[in-house]
């Protein structure tokens, strides 16, 4: 029986239009409320961006944002990771030696980008970071709690860059990708599954009672973690290998399709969400 549903957003819950079928989800959400099933948004994106997708219920649901670095449930912060400032500056100094790497530094109160970055990168970043400040230099920032770097590199260089960063900062940071040349540098152990565990402890929910949906490399831990896990048809080979099941693509509203099936499915006269 499922008591908690966790969904990635880009490439999973959201269609290519950067939106979802709101009326269809609203009906599903009402059924979840009736069955006391928790709904969790688990994404690498910024909390302030994620909550904007759910204006009516943002204070009633939970968010595992920034790939697990920030957990907010029903409007209350439960967890916030933190990188040492010395590590932040060490990573930034190394990134400056690399070509074709664009960087956003992510903090609790805002994300930050250097005024030296290309305008197209900054404007694209605003889609995922509703709080994004352009500053003279990332190296001089100290007045925030920093927990993630969001990088963009040429798509063909993604795997090589991840290997380089994981080797250079082994034990200090972990590089994960959500595809399209996007790489997140996160605090070791602060992935989406860790965020789900924090929420499970709050509610007394076992992994076997969790359903998760994802499509990329930053979803792997969450997909392995949940008793019911679904990789999207459009997902990466790694996501499909990590998940126990497959869902239709995000373009076909796969998350909503599966949730409707689970809500209506009968097992010994009892719903999966019973």
Q: Residue 188 and residue 103: Cα distance in Å, rounded? A: 19
- Does residue 252 have an active-site annotation? no
Among residues 8, 144, 182, 184, which one is catalytic? 8
Beta-carbon neighbour count of residue 155 at 10 Å? 12
Q: Residue 27 and residue 20: Cα distance in Å, rounded? A: 13
Beta-carbon neighbour count of residue 140 at 10 Å? 9
Give the residue carrying structure tokens 């380089």: 164
According to DSSP, the residues that pair with 62 across neighbouring strands are: 40, 73
Selection from 40, 79, 47, 50 nearest residue 187 by Cα: 79
Q: What contacts 34, CB < 8 A, 6 or more positions away?
A: none
Q: What separation in angstroms does the CA of 81 have from each of 19, 64, 170, 186? A: 28, 12, 18, 10
Catalytic residues: 8
């Amino acid at each position: 029986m499922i008591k908690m549903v966790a969904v990635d957003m880009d490439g999973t819950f959201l269609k290519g239009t950067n939106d979802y079928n709101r009326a269809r989800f609203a009906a599903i959400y009402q059924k979840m409320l009736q069955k006391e099933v928790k709904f969790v948004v688990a994404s690498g994106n910024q909390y302030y961006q994620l909550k904007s997708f759910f204006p009516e219920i943002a204070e009633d649901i939970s968010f595992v944002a920034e790939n697990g670095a920030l957990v907010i449930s029903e409007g209350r912060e439960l967890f916030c990771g933190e990188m040492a400032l010395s590590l932040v500056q060490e990573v930034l100094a190394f990134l400056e030696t690399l070509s074709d790497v664009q960087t956003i530094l992510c903090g609790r109160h805002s994300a930050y980008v250097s005024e030296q970055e290309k305008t197209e990168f900054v404007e694209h970043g605003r889609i995922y970071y509703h709080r994004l400040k352009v500053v003279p230099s990332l190296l001089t920032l100290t007045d925030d709690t920093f927990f993630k770097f969001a990088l963009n590199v040429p798509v063909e260089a993604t795997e090589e860059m991840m290997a380089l960063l994981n080797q250079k900062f082994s034990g200090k940071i972990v590089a994960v990708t959500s595809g399209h040349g996007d790489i997140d540098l996160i605090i070791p152990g602060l992935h989406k599954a860790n965020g789900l565990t924090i929420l499970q402890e709050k509610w007394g929910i076992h992994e076997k009672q969790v359903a998760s949906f994802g499509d990329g490399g930053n979803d792997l831990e969450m997909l392995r973690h949940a008793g019911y896990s679904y990789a999207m048809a459009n997902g990466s080979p790694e996501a499909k290998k990590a998940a126990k099941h497959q869902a239709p693509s995000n373009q076909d509203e796969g998350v909503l399709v599966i949730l409707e099936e689970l809500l209506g499915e009968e097992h010994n006269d009892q719903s999966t969400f019973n």
